[in-house]
Structure 1
Amino acid sequence: MSGENNPAEPDVNLESEDCPGEDVPGFGDDLELNQFDGLPFSSRYYKLLKERKTLPVWEVRQEFEDALVNNQLVIVCGTAKTGRSTQIPQWCAEFCLSAQYQHGMVVCTQTNRQQAVDLALRVADEMDVNIGHEVGYTIPLETCCSSDTVLRYCTDDMLLREMMSDPFLEHYGAIVIDQAHERTVSTDILLGLLKDILLQRPDLRVVVLAVPPMTDKLLGHYGSVPLISLEASCPAEVVHSSSGNKDYFYSALRLVLEIHRTKEDGDAVVFFASAEEVHCAQSILQREGTRLGADLGEMVPVVLHPSQGGLLPFLTKQPGPDRSRRVFLSTQQGEDIWWATESVNFVIDTGVQKKLVYNPRIRANSEILRPISQCQADVRKQLSGPTGKCFCLYPEESQLPAENSPLILESNITPTVLFLKRIEIAGLGQCDFIDRPDPEGLMQALEELDYLAALDDDGNLSEIGIIMSEIPLEPQMAKALLASCEFDCVSEMLTIAAMLSAPSCFLKPPASMTHEAVQCHRKFQHPEGDHFTLINIYNAFKQSQREQYFSVEKWCQDYFLDHSALKTAEAIRSELTDTLNRIELPISDPSFGTKTNTLNVKRALLAGFFMQIARDVDGSGNYFILTHKHMAQVHPLSSYGAQSQKLGLPEWVVFHEYTLSENNCMRTVSEISPQVFIQMAPLYFFYNLPPSESKDILQDLLEPDGSRKCKDEKQKTAAAGGDASGGCAVMPQTYDRCVIQ
C-alpha cells in the first residue's frame, strides 16, 4: 500500500497551528507528505484541518490515543456534532498504520447505510485521499473499496455477514462500533460477540461510540475499561409545552408556520412519529405555504429519510434565495444524520414514535405509539447549536424512558438465531448479549427454524440450514427460494424475493389522482394474487429498460411506480442470483404464465410461508389466521381489494406480512388451495395448530374417510367406557418434516 512507504512520517506538523503552504501559492520541496498515500497534502487538507481542530473531540485526542495503545477496548461518550464519527476512525487508522497494518485495517460500523456513505465521503476529503482507495464503504448492494483501503465505513449488518467467512474478524486491527446507543439487533450482536473475539485476539482494538446512559451499560458489560467523555456544545434554548402531546401533529405544523412568520433566519427540522405523518405534514405545509405572503419568503418542506441517497451535499448546501426556509421533516430514526449541517436553527420534537414490536406468540408485529427516550430527546436538543431553539411538545416533567429500547427484545430473532447457529460452526463462543433476548422469543425462533428443516435432531444447523444462512434473506423467504430450485421456478421466486425485500414499488399519488393511480396499477394485477402481480410489475419494468427509445423514469412516473424501489429490487435480484451461483444451486429458465409454473411458485412459497395461512370464514373478506386465531382483512392496495367486487375473494390465502394495528391487514396475499398447503406444510407443524373449524377442514383432507370414521368410533367407544381401539386399526400419527429436505 502506498501508505506503507512512509511509516515514519512525523505527525508533529498535524498539530501545528502554522499549516505549511496554507496561503502560499508555491513553496518548493518542503511539502508535507500524506502518510496514507505518500503524496503532498493539498491546500484543502489544511483548510479542513483547521475546522477539525475546533471539534470537541480534538480536546481528548491525546487521551484517546494513549488509551488505544494501552487497552483492547475503549468507550467514547459523546453526542452528535462532537466529531466522534469522523475523527476517531482516522486516529484508529493512524494507529494501525504505526503497526504497518500487520494486525489489519480499520472498520467503522453505522446503523444507517446512507450515513456510512456520507461519513466515508467526508473522511476521505479530510484525509486528502480518494474515496474507494484509502477510504471506502460497504453497504447492502454497494461496495466502494479496493486493496488500498485502510479505513472502511460499513453498516453493522454487513460486518456481521463478513463474520460468516471471517468469524474472528482477522482482517481488522481496529473496529469502531458507532451509534451503539441505537441498540439495533446487528450492533447488539456485534457488541456481544466482540467480547469473545477480544479474548482470542489480544492484538485487536475495539472502540465503542455511544451517548449516556448507554455508556454506563457498556461499562457494566465489559468491566474496567477506559471511558473518554466529550464535552458537548452548549445546547439550544429549550422550550417545553405546558400541556400533553395528544395533538402533537397539528401543534408541530402550527409552530412551523409561526416560526416562518417571525422571519428569523435558519432552517427547521421536525421529528414526527412515523413516515405516514411525515408525508401528510409535507402535503399540508405545501398547501399552507402557498397562502403565505410573499414578504415572508419561501417555505420549502423537505421529506428526509435517513435511507435516501446523497444526504451530505443536500444538507450541507446553503439555503436557496434570500429569506427562503427549508423545513426538514424526519422520523425517530434520523437524529445522527445532522452531524454535517449548520443551517438548522429550529428543532421541533413531538416526543413520540411509532414502533413495530414483535409478539412471538402470534408471530406478528404490533404497531405501538410511545414516547421517545431521554437519550433521543437530549440528542435532539443539541442539533440546532447554542444559538438555536428546540421546542419540545411535551411537559418538562414528562418521565421519558432513560434509553432506547433494545430492538433485539422487540424483533423477530429467528434470523439472529440462524446466524448465531452458523457461526457456532466456525468455533466462536456464545454471544454475551448486553440484554438477553426473551426466552419465549428464543424458543419461538428455534421452533420456526425446526419447522423450516433448518435444524437437525441435535438442534444444530442441518445442511438446509447452512444453505439458508448463506442467502441474505429472512429464513422463510430463504427456504422458499431454496424450494424453488426443486420446483423449477427459481427465476420467478428470485423476482418475488427481490420485490418484497426492496421498498414498496407503489407510489402514493396526490389525492386528486388516486383513481388514475388505481387504474394504472390494475393493469399489472394478476388473478392468482399479489406475489404474481409483483412479477408482472418487475417484468414490465425490465421490458421498458430494453426499449431504448423509452425513458424508464418517465414510464415509472406514468404508472405511479417508484423507480428507485424497482432499481433496488433489480440490484437485490442480481445479488441473490450471484449467491445461488456461488453455492452452485440450479437456476431454472423463466416460464412465468404457465399453469405448471403458477402451481410451482405457490408450492415454493408455501415451503417457506406455511405458517402464514388464512381462510375467509364468511365469504366477505374476514380472514381467520390459523396459527393464532386472529381475524384480518386483505390490505386495500391488494389486487384482491380491487377485484373483490367482480371476482370475489379467495377462500384460502398465503400472506407475506401481517401487522396488528387499527385495521389488522394482511399485505401481499395470494390464493392457495388447501390441498397444496397440506402437501407442503410439515405435519408436526400442522398438528400443533390450535383447534379451529379451518383446521378440521384441513384434517378431513389429510385423513382418508375410513380413518376419520374410525376416529369417531373410537371417541364414542371411549365415552362409553369400552376399548378405545374400538376394533379399528389405529393409524399412527406421523410428524414428518417438510417434504423439501
Structure 2
Amino acid sequence: MSEQNNSAELDFYPESEECPEEDSLGFGDDLELNQFDGLPFSSRYYKLLKERKTLPVWKVRCEFEDALVNKQLVVVSGTAKTGRSTQIPQWCAEFCLSAQYQHGMVVCTQTDRQQAVDLALRVADEMDVNIGHEVGYTIPLETCCSSDTVLRYCTDDMLLREMMSDPFLEHYGVIIIDQAHERTVSTDILLGLLKDILLQRPELRVVVLTIPPTAGKLLRHYGGVPLISLEGLPPAEVVHSNSGNKDYFYSALRLVLEIHRTKEDGDVVVFLASAEEVRCAHSILLKECTRLGAELGQMIPVVLCPRQGGPLPSPTEQEGCKRSRRVFLSTQQGEDIWWPTDSVNFVIDTGVQKKMVYNPRIRANSDVLRPISQCQADLRKQLSGAAGKCFCLYPEDSQLPAENSPQILEANITPTVLFLKRMEIPGLGQCDFIDRPDPEGLMQALEELDYLAALDDDGNLSEIGIIMSEIPLDPQMAKALLASCEFDCVSEMLTIAAMLSVPSCFLDPPAGMTHEAVQCHRKFQHPEGDHFTLINIYNAFMQCQREQHLSPEKWCQDYFLDHSALKTAEAVRSELTDTLNRIELPISEPSFGTKTNTHNIKRALLAGFFMQIARDVDGSGNYFILTHKHVAQVHPLSSYGAQSHKLGLPEWVVFHEYNLSENNCMRTVSEISPQVFIQMAPLYFFYNLPPSESKDILQDMLDPDGSRKCKEKQKATTINSSSSDANSGCTVVPHTYDRCLIQ
C-alpha cells in the first residue's frame, strides 16, 4: 500500500477505485511486507486470509471503506458469525495507517472482558503481529498494550474511564462500539457522548456494530448516517416446545443427555436464565458424566458466563479419548460471544433470563425472570448454522419483546450521574441518550450524591465529588474510602472495598460438606460483623501466600474459599492503592484489631453507607430499614446468621446490599452504635427519613431535651386542643428540612 497524504479523507487505495485484488494482498509475492510491523508475512497469514475472505462481512468491504472515508458515523448491522467484530477493526486500522495515524489509533469496545481478550488474540493472529504490540487489549485490572499498539480492544466501561483524562478521546482516529444491541449502561453513555464529540472533532470516525432490530433505533437517533447490512447466516432447523414449560431448567439438562446418547457429532450450547443456574447445571452434568457409558464418549460441561468466562477448552481434553463433546452453559448475554469454533451443532434455548432491576424508591435490587427478546432468540438460532438444530423450550407463537431492554432504565444510575457531572468539568456535559433514564431514578441519584456531599449548592461537583469520581468504586464506597483517610484506617478500608468489589469469596460446598464449610468459615468470623470478617479472610490469604510451604490454591480449597475471587481482590486493592497515591491521599499504616481502629472503620463505613441502616425491632432478627420502612433479615451466610444462637443479634446494623428477591435479605452486615450513626449522617438526610419508632429513638439521642418538651407540648395539645400556640416550643424539625452543610 502506498503512503497517503496527511488527510483522512483520502481513500485507502488511491491508485485504483476498486478494492485490492489477491495479488496486492500478498499472494503473488512471497516477500510481501506487513504494513503494520514491516516484516514479511508468514504462511499462516495467507491461510487465515483465505478463511477471512469467506466471511459474509467481506462482501461489503468496499462499501464500508467508502462510507468510512466520507461519513463520520457508520452503522453496521449483522448477526453473529458474520466476522464483523474481527474484520472491521482491521480495516479501520488500515484507514488510520493511511493517514499516518495523525488523528489517532483504533479502539473497539466490548461488553464482556473475556471476549475483548479473545478477539484481540484472534485479530493479532490474523494481522500476523504480536499481541501486546500492534494489537492489544485493556480490561479491568489487566492491560496488554504498548506504544506500538494501533488497534486496541477494551471493555466499554474502561473506555468511559479513559474519557475522564481524555474527554474528547483525542488518542483515537476511529472508535468502534461493538455489541451496541446489548444496551449496557456504559455503551449507552458512549453512544450519547460521542454524538457531541463528533461535532467537536470532524476528523473522528465512529463505527457502531449491532444487529438489525437495534440498527433502526440507532439510525433514528443519529439521523442521516449510512447503514451497511451484512448477509446473515442461514438459521438452524428450529424445534419449538408445544407448551409453556415452567420446568425449563431440568428439561434443558434432560435434552443435553438425550443429544449425547444419540452419538451425533457436535458441541452443545445451553442458554439458561442466570449464572446461578449455569453453576448448578455444571454441577449436575459433571455427576451425570460419571454415569455415562464409555461407548458414548466423554461429555465436558463448560461454564461460559459473561464477565466470568475463560478461554474455550479444546475439543479433546483427554489423551486417547475417541469422542469428546463440549456442553457450553451460558446466560442471557452469551449469544453474541465470539465463538472461535464451528463445532457447535446443537443449541438449547430456555427462552428466559433473570435480570437485576433496581428500584430507586427503596434503593434495592431484585431478580426478575423475563422472556428473552426476539433479537436474542434469532441470534441463538444462527449459532449452530444451517446444518445444526436449535431446540426452543417455548411455543413458536410466544410473544417476545422485539429488543433488549436498556440497562440504563433498570440499573442504579448514581455512578452514571457522578460520571456525567464529572464530564461537565472538561466541557462535555451533553449526553444525548437513546433512551433517557427514568426521572425518578435520576432524582434519586442526584439526591444520593447530595447526601454524600458530592455536589455543591449549585448542583455541580464539589471538591469531594471530583475526588470520588477519580476512584473506580460506587459513590458510597468511594466516600467511605475517602473518609478512611481522615480516620486513619485506609489500609483496612482498601481491603473491605476490594473484597466487596469482586464475587463472593465463599464457595458453595459439595453435597454433604455443608457443616464442614460452615466450621471452616467460622474460623474467620469477627464479632464486629461481616466487613471485619472479610478483612480476616483477606489477611489470612495474604499470609498464606507469604508462607512458601503453603499452596494458596490448596489453602482456599481446604477452607471452601474461592481462590480466583481472592486473587482478584488483591489486584483490585493494588489498583485502588495506586489511585490513592496518584491523587496524593494519605494511606495510614494497618492497625487492624485495636479498639480505636474498629471504631474508626465503622465511622468510615457510615460516612458512605449511612443510607443503609437497619434496626432489629423485636430482638428476633426482623430488621426495620430506616429509609423505606421495609423489614429484612440477615443473610444466612452472614457472621451473625452463624453466631446468632451464641451472641445474639445486634440491634443496629449497617449493611452493604439489600436484595428483594433473596427473601428480603441484607448482605454484609456489621454492628454499629446509633450514636455514631447520628454523628456521621448529614442532618438533612436524618430529618428526611420517614417517621418511625426508630427515628424517634435517634431523635431522643440527638436532642433529648427538645424531644421531651415536644412530647409534653403534644400531650398538652391533646388535652387542650383550643390552645392555638401549644406547639410553639417544639424543637422537632419538619421533614422539609433545608439542605445544610456537610460537616
TM-score, normalization by structure 1: 0.95
SS of alignment partner, residue 492 of structure 1: helix
- Aligned twin of 2:691: 691
Amino acid at match of 2:712: E
* SS of match in other structure, 2:513: helix
Deviation (angstroms), 1:336 = 1.9
Look up the match of 1:713. Answer: 712
Partner of 1:605: 605
> Unaligned stretches of 5+ in structure 2?
7-11
Contact 1:357–1:368, Cα closer than 8 Å, also in 2:
yes
Q: Is the 8 A contact 2:687 2:733 kept in 1?
A: no
Equivalent residues of 1:9, 1:35 under 8 A apart: no
> Contact (CA 8 Å) 2:483, 2:607: kept in 1 or not?
yes
Q: Is the 1:176–1:209 contact (alpha carbons within 8 Å) kept by the matching residues of 2? A: yes
Matched, 1:348 2:354: no
Q: Contact 1:5–1:38 (CA<8 Å) still a contact in 2?
A: no
* Letter aligned with residue 443 of structure 1: M
Asked if the contact 2:713/2:730 (under 8 Å) is kept, the reply is no
Are positions 1:278 and 2:284 aligned together?
A: no
User: Post-superposition shift, 1:188?
Assistant: 0.1
1:651 is aligned to 2:657: no
**Correspondence for 2:587:** 587
- State how far apart, in whole Å, the 2-side matches of 1:142 and 1:217 are: 34
Note if 1:722 corresponds to 2:723. Answer: yes
In structure 1, distance between residues paired with 2:684 and 2:109: 41
Aligned partners of 1:299 and 1:326 also within 8 Å? yes
- 5 Å matches for 1:82-93? 82-93=82-93
1:69 corresponds to: 69
1:649 aligns to what SS in structure 2? coil
The answer to whether the 8 A contact 1:580-1:586 is kept is: yes
Q: Is the 8 A contact 2:303 2:309 kept in 1?
A: no
* CA distance, structure 2, for counterparts of residue 466 and residue 688 of structure 1: 26
For 2:710, the aligned partner's letter is K
Q: Secondary structure at the match of 2:164?
A: coil
- What is the CA distance between 1:328 and its match in structure 2? 1.3
In the alignment, what sits opposite 1:209? Answer: 209
Cα deviations across residues 634-667 of structure 1 (Å, max 9, x unaligned)?
A: 1111111110111111111111001111511111
- Structure 1 residue matching 2:326: 3-state secondary structure: strand
Q: Does the aligned pair in 2 maintain the 1:682–1:735 contact within 8 Å?
A: no
**Distance in structure 2 (CA, Å) of the matches to 1:252 and 1:8:** 52
8 A Cα contact 1:714 1:724, kept in partner: no
Structure 2 residue identity aligned to 1:255? L
Match of 2:425 in 1: 425
Gaps of 5+ in 1: none
User: Equivalents in 1 of 2:731, 2:175: separation in Å?
Assistant: 62
Partner of 1:306, secondary structure, is coil
CA distance in 2, matches of 1:317, 1:587: 50
Would the aligned equivalents of 1:717 and 1:724 in 2 still touch at CA under 8 Å?
no
1:298-337 to structure 2, matched below 5 A, reads: 298-308=298-308, 310-312=310-312, 314=313, 321-337=321-337
In the alignment, the residues of structure 1 paired with residue 732 and residue 246 of structure 2 have an alpha-carbon distance, to the nearest angstrom, of: 60
Are residues 1:391 and 2:391 paired?
yes
Cα distance in 2 between the residues matched to 1:702 and 1:299: 65
Q: Summarize the Cα distance change of 1:167–1:236 in structure 2 as closer, same or farther, 3 Å threshold.
A: same
Question: TM-score of the superposition, structure 2-length normalised?
Answer: 0.95
Find the aligned partners of 1:597 and 1:174 in 2 and give their Cα distance.
50
Q: Superposed, which structure 2 residues align to 1:367-378 within 5 Å? A: 367-378=367-378
Distance across 2 between alignment mates of 1:404 and 1:634:
34
Q: Report how far residue 718 of structure 1 moved.
A: 4.7
User: Which residue in 2 is equivalent to 1:162?
Assistant: 162
Aligned position for 2:9: none
Q: Which amino acid aligns with 1:715?
A: Q
Whole-Å Cα distance in 2 between the matches of residues 8 and 316 of structure 1? 42
CA deviations 1:500-544 (Å, max 9, x no partner) are 001111111111211111111111000000000000000001101
Superposed CA deviations along residues 453-507 of structure 1, whole A, max 9, x for unmatched, are: 0000000000000000000000000000000001000000000000000111111
Partner of 2:668: 668
Check if 1:261 corresponds to 2:261: yes
Deviations 1:407-444 (Å, cap 9, x if unpaired)? 00000000000000001011113100000000000000
Looking at structure 1, the residues matched to 306 and 5 of structure 2 have their Cα atoms a distance apart, in angstroms, of: 39
Give the whole-Å Cα distance in 2 for the aligned partners of 1:307 and 1:626: 34
- Tell me the alpha carbon deviations over residues 6-52 of structure 1, each in whole angstroms, 9 at most, x when there is no partner: 99999999641797579xxxx8xx51011111111111111110110
Q: How does 1:45-124 map to 2 (within 5 A)?
A: 45-124=45-124
The answer (yes or no) to whether the contact 2:580–2:586 under 8 Å persists in 1 is yes
Partner of 2:295: 295
| Cross-structure match for 1:224 | 224
Secondary structure of the structure 2 residue equivalent to 1:340 = coil
Maintained 8 Å contact 1:365/1:660:
yes
Cα 1:36–1:4 shift into 2, 3 Å: farther
Shift of 1:732: 7.0
Offset of 1:403 from its aligned partner?
A: 0.4
Structure 2 CA distance for aligned equivalents of residues 294 and 626 of structure 1: 60
Stretch moving more, 473-482 or 317-326: 317-326
Please tell me whether the aligned partners of residues 710 and 730 of structure 2 are also in contact (alpha carbons under 8 angstroms). Answer: no
Q: Does 1:31 align with 2:10?
A: no
- Contact 1:316–1:340 (Cα < 8 Å) also in 2: no
Partner of 1:544: 544
Counterpart of 2:448 in structure 1 is 448
Match for residue 16 of structure 1 among 22, 25, 36:
22
Q: In the TM superposition, what is the alpha-carbon distance from 1:4 to its structure 2 partner?
A: 10
What is the rounded CA distance, in whole Å, between the counterparts of 2:371 and 2:318 in structure 1? 32
Output aligned runs, 1:174-189, within 5 Å. Answer: 174-189=174-189
Matched, 1:472 2:478: no
Q: 1:726–1:625: structure 2 CA closer, same or farther, 3 Å change rule?
A: closer
Equivalent residue letter for 1:579: T
Write the deviation string for residues 367-388 of structure 1: whole angstroms up to 9, x where unpaired.
1101011111111111111111
Corresponding letter in the other structure for 1:239: V
**2:143 corresponds to which letter in structure 1?**
T
Single out whichever of 625-634 and 718-727 deviates more from structure 2: 718-727
| SS of 2:339 mapped into structure 1 | helix
CA contact (8 A) 2:136 2:153 kept: yes
Deviation at 1:298, TM superposition (A): 2.0
Q: Give 1:95 shift.
A: 0.5
Instruction: Say if 1:316 and 1:342, in contact at 8 Å, map to a contact too.
Output: no
CA contact (8 A) 2:304 2:329 kept: yes
Superposed CA RMSD in Å reads 2.2
Does the aligned pair in 2 maintain the 1:681–1:738 contact within 8 Å? no
Output the CA distance in 1 between the equivalents of 2:727 and 2:191: 61
CA distance in 1, matches of 2:322, 2:15: 47
Q: Is the 8 A contact 2:133 2:149 kept in 1?
A: yes
Q: Does the CA-based 8 Å contact 1:78-1:231 persist in structure 2?
A: yes
**Contact 2:270–2:347 (8 Å) recurs in 1:** yes
1:125-136 residue pairs with structure 2 within 5 A? 125-136=125-136
> What residue number does 1:146 align with?
146
CA distance in 1 between partners of 2:258 and 2:24 (Å): 47
Moved more, 410-419 or 619-628: 619-628
Note closer, same or farther for the CA distance 1:17–1:315 as it changes in structure 2 (3 Å cut): farther
The answer as to 2:639 corresponding to 1:639 is yes
Distance change in 2, residues 1:608/1:701 (3 Å): same
State the identity %: 83
Q: Distance in 2 between matches of 1:50 and 1:690?
A: 68
- CA distance 1:731–1:278, shift in 2 (3 Å): closer
Q: Secondary structure at the match of 2:332?
A: coil
Contact 1:489 1:601 in 2 (8 A): yes
Deviations 1:574-604 (A, max 9, x none): 0100111111111000000001000100000
Q: Partner of 2:564: helix, strand, or coil?
A: helix
Kindly tell me: are residues 730 and 405 of structure 1, through their superposed partners in 2, closer, same or farther at Cα, counting changes over 3 Å? Answer: closer
- What letter matches 1:476 in structure 2? Q
Residues in 2 aligned to 1:272 and 1:567: alpha-carbon distance in whole angstroms: 28
Query: When the two structures are aligned, how many residues end up with a matched partner?
Result: 731
Q: 1:353 to 1:637 in 2, by over 3 A?
A: same
